[in-house]
Structure 1
Amino acid sequence: MTAPVPVTLAAGQARTRLHELTVIDVRTPGEYASGHLPGALNIPLDAVERALPDIRHAAERGDVLVVCASGARSENACRLLAEHGIPTATLAGGTGAWAAAGHDLHQSPAHGGRATWNMERQVRFTAGAVVLLGLALGLLIHPAFLLLSAGIAGGLVFSALTNTCGMAVMLAKLPHNRPRAADLDAVLAQLRSR
């Protein structure tokens, strides 16, 4: 059995078909809460394997659209789902392209109503803070601390070349970016009922 090839939908195509799609947002719960496609269910990328039976069930009943902020994480999720024989589509450019096309993003409170920065903003803040810390420690304490800044710079170049981000993977594990078990269980139950 050959793995299904994920389809890419432009924002306009997805909007036209939104009523017939099961939309799965693979961003962190905080990112999801800050703005998601109408009707999207939040299953963070690191929880997709746990959700395979429920996503398979949804795919048997209709088309599944996987979204993230830019399209990179949703492409990873689509590859994983394709390896398990689950056909999916991804949103070209993610929620960023959706919003840029003038389509509404729905917001929901995350963890008691606190909004969380999107992952790209979290990565930029963390990388900048670590670079500044490395420079300050390198100038004030010992030049070896400059290697910290160089390491972050190298990581950013690697991230751009490979379209992956190790820092985002680490930040996604922080408590404000993690779903509570009850939240994920409720989303999976919702997915099963579609």
Structure 2
Amino acid sequence: MSNPETTRTATVDAATLRELIASGRPPRLLDVRTPAEFETSHIPGAYNVPLDLLKEHREELRNHLNEDVVLICRSGARAAQAEQTLAGVGLPNLKVLGGGMMAWQAADAPLNRGAARWDLERQVRLVAGSIVLVSILGSVLVPGLKWVAGFIGAGLTFAAVTNTCAMGMLLGKLPYNRGASCDLDTVVGQLRTGPTAGQRASR
């Protein structure tokens, strides 16, 4: 479980990142969304290292990230968690794409696109909202069900305060969100040899 941010996360906006990518020495782009989200759309040259995998293998990744690193997710929240994780093992030169893929798409920046799938945040809203709705309606017959809705509300509040989301982490493990995969050794090899379009690391 992550702690709330105690230091300000360094960010880079979409326009500046485009300039950096076009420069002679672009930063490493680590996309920490789920493989399914990554397959839907990603920045050309990005490496997909889902947040849970990044946390598990942070020491190994640190040994292969010597240049500037920009962390990417849908809105910036998961990337901020990834920044804290990698900073915790002594990795410098970390930045988060401000506004995440939403800002990148809004800037009409280049994208590699695949089959469309729901992003993780949207899935969380659907599941949480459905549980609350069913609990409230069901409480007409079983009054105790209203506490299920209260539990979900408390969980969402805790997620906002701590900048974590247990439901999102659980949903991220579903087959729908895993997509195609390769092992971490593959992406480590890619990090050694240089950026190529749309690389992936998974379990």
TM-score tier, shorter chain, comes to: 0.7 to 0.9
Question: Alpha-carbon deviation of 1:84?
Answer: 1.3
Across the aligned residues of Structure 1 and Structure 2, the Cα RMSD in angstroms comes to: 2.2
Q: Is the 8 A contact 1:54 1:191 kept in 2?
A: no
In structure 1, what is the Cα distance between the partners aligned to 2:36 and 2:163?
22
Retained in 1: the 8 A contact 2:135–2:146? yes
Deviation at 1:41, TM superposition (A): 0.8
**Alpha-carbon contact 1:55-1:191 (below 8 Å) kept:** no
2:22 matches 1:16: no
Distance in 1, Cα, partners of 2:99 & 2:172: 20
Distance 1:189 1:29 in 2: 19
SS of residue matched to 2:139? helix
Q: Deviations over 1:152-187 (max 9, x none)?
A: 122223323333222112211222223666354433
Unaligned runs of 5+ residues in structure 1 are 110-114
Q: Between Structure 1 and Structure 2, how many residues are aligned? A: 182
The match for 1:56 among 63, 77, 92 is: 63
Q: Which residue does the alignment assign to 1:80? A: 85
Paired residue secondary structure (2:112)? coil
Counting only pairs closer than 5 Å after superposition, residues 92-111 of structure 1 correspond to structure 2 as 92-108=98-114
Could you tell me how far apart the structure 2 residues matched to 1:51 and 1:161 are? 24
> Which structure dedicates a bigger proportion of its chain to helix?
1
Q: Give SS of 2:42's match.
A: coil
The unaligned stretches of length 5 or more in structure 2 are: 1-7, 195-203
Identity of aligned residues (%): 41
Q: Distance in 2 between matches of 1:146 and 1:6?
A: 38
Cα distance in 2, alignment partners of residues 73 and 86 from structure 1:
17
Please give the per-residue CA displacement for 1:15-60, whole angstroms capped at 9, x wherever unaligned: 1112412111001111111211111110001111325434532x32
Distance 1:135 1:159, change over 3 A: same
